[in-house]
Amino acid sequence: MNGSLAADLRNLHAQLDAIDQELQIVIAGLREEEGDWQPQPGSWSISECLDHLATGNRVYLEAMREPIRRARVLGRQRSRPALPGLIGRLFVLSFEPPPTWLTRRTSPRIIRPRKTRSLGDTLADFVDSHQAIRAFLLAHADLDLARIRFPNPFVRGIRFSIATGLHLLAAHERRHLWQALQVRRRLQENEGRS
């Protein structure tokens, strides 16, 4: 990571580093078939959690690209930290793990996990999408991420700052890696009973 980045951007990178470490805990020694194991019918497997994250990351980043391109053309250089405003912070907080009865939500159809993906494929897609967040952040660190707004691709009529979107992506990844870790623990408990 570039040591010349501002503290707020270094913090976002540190969040992504922590997510990398959490991912390693989730997948350590996991066999391909264990990636598809579900604690109960209808719940998500580890592979499904990763597929959901990879797809969600791609959709969100794609929604940010055109507003970022326009901002670069207009010269909207960084003038303040890349932090969400009050509403953005509340929205990001609602995605932090663990989910509660207040923060549970149904995933939009476009990012629901595909059942036919292998653990290896979903892991590779997630890692690629996670690295795309890092690359996006580095490529646009010079822009005013707290003021550039993009349309939320899942909630019509809502616009967020790019800063809110980046913080939301990290919170969303933490939420579903937490979920995947719970699946992993249940799998280990289940195998211990066998």
| pLDDT interval class at 107 (50, 70, 90) | confident
Instruction: Indicate whether 166 pLDDT > 60.
Output: yes
The long-range contacts involving 109-116, CB below 8 angstroms and separated by at least 24 positions, are: 110/55, 110/59, 110/153, 110/154, 111/52, 111/55, 111/56, 111/59, 111/154, 112/52, 113/44, 113/47, 113/48, 113/49, 113/51, 113/52, 113/55, 114/48, 114/51, 115/48
Domains of the chain: 7-193 (1.20.120.450)
Residue with token string 């991912």: 23
- Whether omega before 98 lies within 30 degrees of 0, making that bond cis, reads yes
Provide the pLDDT for residue 194.
54
Other C-beta atoms within 10 Å of 102: how many? 7
pLDDT at residue 60, as a whole number: 97
DSSP secondary structure letter of residue 161 = E
Which three-class secondary structure state does DSSP give residue 149? strand
What is the tens place of the pLDDT at every residue in 131-154? Answer: 999 999 999 999 999 999 999 999
- Per residue, what are the HEC states of 64-95? HHHHHHHHHHHCCECCCCCCCCHHHHHHHHCC
* Band of pLDDT at residue 109, cut at 50, 70 and 90: confident
- Side-chain half-sphere CA neighbours of 28 within 13 A: 10
- pLDDT at position 95 is 94
Q: In this predicted structure, what is the pLDDT of residue 190?
A: 87
